Amino acid sequence: MTVVTATKRSAQGAPRADGALRPPDRGAWFLVLPALIPILVLSVGPLLYGITLAFTDAQSGRTEPTKWIGGLNFQDLLHDTLFWESFRIGLVWAVGVTVPQFLLALGLALLLDQDLRMRWLARALAIIPWAMPEVVVGVMWRLVYNPDAGVLNETLRDLGLGDGRDWLSGLGTALPAVIVVGVWAGMPQTTVALLAGLQNTPRELHEAAAMDGAGAWRRFWTVTWPTLRPVALAITALNLIWNFNSFALVYVLTSGGPGGRTRLPMLFAYEEAFRYGQFGYAAAMGCVMVAVISVLLALFLVGRLRGGDDA
């Protein structure tokens, strides 16, 4: 930041404090409008429209006009056991993916922070899940889980651990099986975020703690963790939200089956809207999801404030 000594005043009369940030000026509009209009028309507008739809009986392919029905959709949702079941599955999925993924990614980030020989290889491989289309990730793991031609059961057979099973169709195994895929798919982003956080760890402190005879475990908790915490909280909150909203992976893996055991909220709402044409009802589901996500976001913001670090 450079400080301009002669404080000039712009048209709006705001004093100029530095060279990097200038007060707004009317000339900026021609820079902003090309992006602003699409954002308003295709993002903010639809969002508000979607919230109002939740209070109507909008359906697809109907000739008579849509009516305002107040909170009726929400009342129906309250009694919709299938929806709450999918909601519960969504939370189990979000937590079940986010927590193990965080621990695994933290381990990988700490390893990659050391000067090991194979780091370039790790970097090359670590981006595979990130770069791939989600649909392909789903397809790939279907091949892994395939009961006969899949590598998982073949490995179990080789190790003499029985014949394996049809993981994605078993009532008890389907959700854990898709959770493993979710963990795999998000590893790169989480690892990169944590690695970025590790860059902030003061090396000298590490050295000093080591000189004082602190073991690796102690060094992690006293030196590394305090600097990593804001990033860790942020990425965890974001992952919870992203996972709660996820669709493509599970759609390809199980389509929500068997018997709805992996029907995430987004799959449920998608079916409701585009298979049964219940636009208003699906919009109400979306609103309930937003409410839950808002709570998660609030936690995220509180975490950032308490971290006090503008990372």
Sites for other proteins among residues 259-298 (CB under 8 A): 265-266, 269-270, 273-274, 279, 282-283, 285-287, 289-290, 293, 296-297
Residue range at the interface with other proteins (CB under 8 A); choices 68-76, 78-86, 146-154, 170-178: 146-154
In the complex, least distance from residue 63 CB atom to other proteins, rounded to whole angstroms:
14
56 - beta bridge partners?
68
| 8 A C-beta contact, residue 165 and residue 240 | no
Measured CA to CA, the distance from residue 244 to residue 94 in angstroms comes to: 5
Half-sphere exposure of 94 (CA within 13 A, CB side): 25
Residue range at the interface with other proteins (CB under 8 A); choices 74-82, 170-178, 191-199, 222-230: 191-199
Question: What is the footprint of other proteins within residues 235-254 (CB under 8 A)?
Answer: 238, 241-242, 244-245, 247-248, 251-252, 254
| 19 near other proteins, judged by CB under 8 A | yes
In the complex, least distance from residue 70 CB atom to other proteins, rounded to whole angstroms:
19
**For residue 250, which of 151, 147, 139 has the smallest C-alpha distance?**
139
| 222 near other proteins, judged by CB under 8 A | no
| 142 near other proteins, judged by CB under 8 A | yes
Q: How far is CA 246 from CA 84, 97, 205, 250, in A?
A: 17, 11, 40, 8
| 151 near other proteins, judged by CB under 8 A | yes
Quickly tell me which residue has 């509009």 as its tokens.
Answer: 29
In the complex, least distance from residue 18 CB atom to other proteins, rounded to whole angstroms:
9
Question: What is the footprint of other proteins within residues 160-189 (CB under 8 A)?
Answer: 169, 184, 187
| 15 near other proteins, judged by CB under 8 A | no
Closer to other proteins at the Cβ: 70 or 133?
133
Measured CA to CA, the distance from residue 137 to residue 142 in angstroms comes to: 9
Closer to other proteins at the Cβ: 96 or 183?
183
Tokens representing residue 114 in the block: 């050391």
Tokens representing residue 233 in the block: 């909280």
Measured CA to CA, the distance from residue 264 to residue 243 in angstroms comes to: 10
| 311 near other proteins, judged by CB under 8 A | no
Question: What is the footprint of other proteins within residues 66-95 (CB under 8 A)?
Answer: none
Site string (99-138) toward other proteins, x via CB under 8 A: -----x--xx--xxxxxxxxxxxxxxxxxxxxxxxxxxx-
Tokens representing residue 243 in the block: 């996972």
Measured CA to CA, the distance from residue 179 to residue 9 in angstroms comes to: 57
Closer to other proteins at the Cβ: 92 or 122?
122
Binds other proteins (CB under 8 A): choice among 3, 6, 149, 159: 149
Closer to other proteins at the Cβ: 95 or 140?
140
**For residue 184, which of 253, 97, 268 has the smallest C-alpha distance?**
97
Measured CA to CA, the distance from residue 210 to residue 229 in angstroms comes to: 21
Query: How many C-beta atoms lie closer than 10 Å to residue 75's C-beta?
Result: 12
68 - beta bridge partners?
56
